Structure 1
Amino acid sequence: MKAISWHVPASTTLTVAKHSQLMARAWPGRSRRCPPVGEADKLTMGYGFRWRFVFKGEGLPIEPPAHYDPKQFELYRRAFQQGVDILSGRVMRGKVDGWEKSGGRVYSGGAGNLARALFAPTNYGHNANYADGDYATRARIWKEQQDFVRGMTHFLRTDPSVPAKQKEIALSAGLEKGAFDDTKGYPHQLYVREARRMVSDTVVTQKDMEGRTNPADSVGLASYGVDEWPYATVALDGKVALMGGYYSMLYLEEEHRGIYKIPYRAIVPKKAQCANLLVPVCVSASHIAMTSIRMEPVWMILGESAGVAATMAVKSGSAVQDVPYAELYPKLRALAQKVDIPKRKETKAK
């Protein structure tokens, strides 16, 4: 690691390929090969906790982990040695058309969202084995996420390379009282943004988000942009960079305005695999599509549609794949489900 790079240069097009080029984490001894463009990997968006940090000594203590290793924070040390001010909220990259830029603060305020930055309260890439892991593997990853913040805080408090201002903030940092007192301030739930996804006969992709498809079996609408988080910290051209972590709204044809349909075929598995299962959350979708679909309102919409379809399948004794959409559609409309792209209302000239 010879220098610090704050982003991976890439075009603004939203393709899956550019997010799958690198696998390595930049910590010493963890470099991996760069697979060919488009090759699958196990990386998913970074996980984390919704930390609630407070300062001025008002919170519950953040103690160092039992197996603290300062080498894990070598990137921080080298950044400090090169004069990088990680308190400045230095921009990793800008968002389009006036959207707020993402900074690099190590302690996020409020509900403690992760930062799309090299210096953030998470170890990007450490969650690669979570989705297919057993309980022990998942527990280890959960603990690693906690220990990373504990170790980071201890490093910022004690390492000689840390500037005085950053050290002062770290020394005063604590976990908010009143939210998770029974676990000493540590949040109860790990934020798993993405894990396993179903692969069915139909896969929702970026083309659907861009309005280039018009599925005839829509069971719900979505309209959120691409909201993904970094997958790993990687070595790139002798520097250090983040892989992934893009946020963008989709600017589409006037007719769609970012709204797209989710087909019934994407919430049912292949018939040969299972005939009595509906999946409204881990839907059949590409990674890019899932960065948009993964919003609670969309899951609630799909959940209601799935419930109606399940009732129909049970009453008729049929496979979920054989539920006739011609009969499902009016039932959804009767429940006020929005399954068609709404037409833009014309405004009267003044």
Structure 2
Amino acid sequence: MNTIRVLVVDDSAFMRKMIQEILEADHRITVVGTARNGEEGLKKVKELSPDIITLDVEMPKMDGLTCLKEIMRSYPLPVVMLSSMTTRGGENTLKAMEYGAVDFIEKPSGSISLNINSIAEKIVGKVIAASKANLNEVNKSVVSPVVASSATIDAKRFVYSKGKQDLIAIGTSTGGPRALQQVLTALPKDYPAPIVIVQHMPPGFTKSLAQRLDRLCEISVKEAEDQEILHGGVAYIAPGNYHMKIQYQRNLIIHLDQTDATKGHRPSVDVLFSSIARINSINMTAVIMTGMGSDGALGLEQLKKSNNSVAVIAESEKSSIVFGMPKAAILTHLVDEVVHVNEISLALMKRVGGHKR
């Protein structure tokens, strides 16, 4: 079996050494070279032809974002970014996703020498997942954000659902920020249903994601808050390191907690879906998009068992950056529609609101 050939680009000699040791401890990975900055990284890409690159965001001479743009323009490869957990780090990480990075790894805080090994499993997992990424879809989506035009929105007039309240729940992971942007920017500002979202991300990054999407979308997008009442036309993103559960107490209300991680995830799509499965008084649409692993599949089973009116949409393999979570959902045989990411917003508009007036 051919090993995954990785180039490590980081300005810290210690980080380069530690990342190399972590990756090469897995028999599936070989580090073919290292580089101290973006300029050197580009030269090594040309010389070594790696399969995948780990790329630090903040470096001298040429920073990671500049290097990433050049890589995607001249030598398109799967790239996993390393980013610090700061406001600026979160913003730059989302820019990196826009420029074509497949995923990112949060740099450990505090004493790096003590904490780097705590994310060893995550580094290896994300590098292996990125090596299988749908790079054609990444390259196609590295464009300016496509926001629904006012003409498109004005043409869409929906009949609000009567009787039961509508709720959209979305679960996603690797490639999710890009996919969420494609879906949410196409929804009209008068979209009647609230949308709750689990995106696998560390604390801090989910807030940056929500703020960025809020700037791009006609609907409102925010990081969820505990005990918040859900409103139509608003998308709520679960904060990193908190499970998001939905409860019904005359209104649909968000409950955040830090109970144990599920399948290594907090927030967890399974936890979100399982909480909604306990509510019988809503029309539910569940969406599973691009991501590594199988989070959400178990929750779908609980949803379908408890509520026959649940509609389940999965992103197609063609558009998924990583076809893990959607594939696991499809294998449950409970998915009603499998669609390209560009068609998910249309499916949601057909599902909630019925026909155009």
Identify the TM-score tier after normalising by the shorter chain: under 0.3
- More relative contact order, 1 or 2 (CA 8 Å, 6+ apart): 1
TM-score where L is the length of structure 1: 0.22
Q: Which has the larger radius of gyration?
A: 1
TM-score where L is the length of structure 2: 0.22
Q: Name whichever structure is richer in strand by fraction.
A: 2
